[in-house]
Amino acid sequence: MKVLMFGWEFPPHIAGGLGTACYGLTKGLAYHGVKTHFVVPKAYGDEDQSQITLHAAEGVEYNETNFNFGQYYEQLNYIEVGSNIIPYLSPEEFEILVSKEIARDTTKKEKILERKFKFAGAYGSNLMLEVSRYAMVASVIARKLDFDVIHAHDWLTYAAGVAAKRATGKPLVVHMHATEYDRSGDNVNPHVYNIERMGMSEADLVITVSNFTRQIVINKYGIDPNKVMTVHNAVEPDEKEIGQINKNLPEKIVTFLGRVTYQKGPEYFVESAVKVLQKDPNVRFVMAGSGDMLNRIILQVATLGIADKFHFTGFLKGAEVTKMFTQSDVYVMPSVSEPFGISPLEAMRSNVPVIISKQSGVSEVLKHAVKVDYWDTDAMADAIYGLYNISHFQKCLKSWGKTKSTI
């Protein structure tokens, strides 16, 4: 079995959990003897290719004889979007970047049919343009490779998956890691929604990361339930990464790790922190991540007068994530809408007790975790206080047992 897989990012160049999930999937497929051609917009040369063959869309020669661009462009219905669909920029930054891109694009509009395209390989202000170009190149790549099935991850690559299917007739599997309803609540971006719905409608099989997401796909997008299948995410044990790291601070450490966006509920973490600190000042709270709400959360922390007990690390990845967990006494994921949520599994791998919102897919598989409603900051604060005190008590018992055994 050979798979042609389309993804927007691949480790070590990641902006969130999507690239990590893709990496894990390719390793799992390789374990079962499946060969994977993995296509990214832009390659950097330091990706782990031991389990895959990596292909970059950038630099691939596009030729009209290979693909009817005029027809496909009309079907895709590419539109410049004047709203903030980029999770890593503030609305102000997005507005400035878009206005510059629009001005530049009007002078280069005739170059959209160049034989080779450049890709930023990220989530820039011309994201929709890159999505459409990626789809065009996908049809060229698909015609050149030998494979049995197409696998596309999230809305950024759905158009590419559909293009590859139409070019080769091979079956298409799309993987829904997060829907537009998760990212934006009820204020969905109609253009992203339409791409998601088109990709899932054209697909032969839709994989969702949880039953929570499966219900959204069926109820909000009208996708046939018979072709929607749940496959939960997982993490690998990695004793080499975990190791022994000495904790540097005497206080208890409570950690939030994820994008600082509406979807992840960072403001509820801050509100819970205030309530815990009113009971016990011997605690420090860490927010590890970046996102469009970061400045607002920093202001909230300062306004509430807890800045001396709050730390912002910025985006962490790889060994930095593991080190953060080894320093933590409790991990909290207060997501408003979480398709799955892999970070609680990473925390538990490092023996850190976790608190997760009931509005998360990972709650379907975690039996030994405290579950609260994301908005119930009283329950969240009680759980934080209770867990780090229980954890301390257990460590004391363990230490006492070692001392007793040497007497």
Per-residue confidence band for 249, with pLDDT thresholds at 50, 70 and 90: confident
Termini Cα distance of the chain: 60
Longest Cα pair distance anywhere in the chain, in angstroms?
83
Say if residue 264's pLDDT is above 90.
Answer: yes
> Tens of pLDDT along 7-62?
999 988 887 778 888 999 999 999 999 999 999 999 888 998 999 999 999 988 87
Q: What is the pLDDT of residue 127?
A: 87
Over the chain, what is the mean pLDDT? 83
239-398 CATH fold = Rossmann fold (3.40.50)
Cβ neighbour number for residue 259 with a 10 Å cutoff = 22
Per-residue confidence band for 64, with pLDDT thresholds at 50, 70 and 90: low
Per-residue pLDDT averaged across 379-392, rounded? Answer: 87
Residue 280 three-state SS:
coil
Q: Using an 8 Å Cβ cutoff, are 6 and 150 in contact? A: yes
Per-residue pLDDT averaged across 285-303, rounded? Answer: 95
Q: What is the pLDDT of residue 71?
A: 43
> Tens of pLDDT along 121-144?
777 678 888 999 999 999 999 999
Q: Which two tokens stand for residue 321?
A: 């994530």
Which pairing describes strands 252-257 and 330-333: parallel, antiparallel, or unpaired?
A: parallel
The overall pTM is greater than 0.85? no
Q: Out of 3.40.50.2000, 3.40.50.360, 3.40.50.300, 1.10.10.10, which CATH number does the structure's domain 2-230 have?
A: 3.40.50.2000
Q: For the chain, what percent of residues have pLDDT higher than 70? A: 79
Look-up: residue for tokens 């959204």? 216
- Respond yes or no on whether the N-terminal peptide bond of residue 12 is cis (omega within 30° of 0): yes
Q: Using an 8 Å Cβ cutoff, are 54 and 46 in contact? A: no
Helices in 63-126 by DSSP H: which ranges?
A: 69-76, 91-108
> Tens of pLDDT along 337-352?
889 988 999 899 888 9
CATH 3.40.50.2000 in the chain, residues? 2-230, 239-398
d(CA 302, CA 287): 14
Q: Which two tokens stand for residue 46?
A: 């330091």
Axis-axis angle for helices 190-202, 211-221 (nearest 10): 100
Per-residue confidence band for 234, with pLDDT thresholds at 50, 70 and 90: confident
Say if residue 194's pLDDT is above 70.
Answer: yes
Residue 270: name the closest of 221, 321, 234, 304 by CA: 304
Q: Which two tokens stand for residue 390?
A: 């229980």
d(CA 298, CA 285): 13
d(CA 281, CA 116): 58
Burial class (CB in 10 A: 0-12, 13-18, 19+), 384: buried
Cβ neighbour number for residue 73 with a 10 Å cutoff = 15
DSSP letter string over 180-208? HHHHHTTS--HHHHHHHHHHHHH-SEEEE
Per-residue pLDDT averaged across 171-191, rounded? Answer: 92
For 194, list phi and psi in degrees, rounded to 5: -65, -40
Q: Which two tokens stand for residue 156?
A: 């950024």
> Tens of pLDDT along 67-114?
444 444 444 444 444 444 444 444 444 444 444 444 444 434 444 454
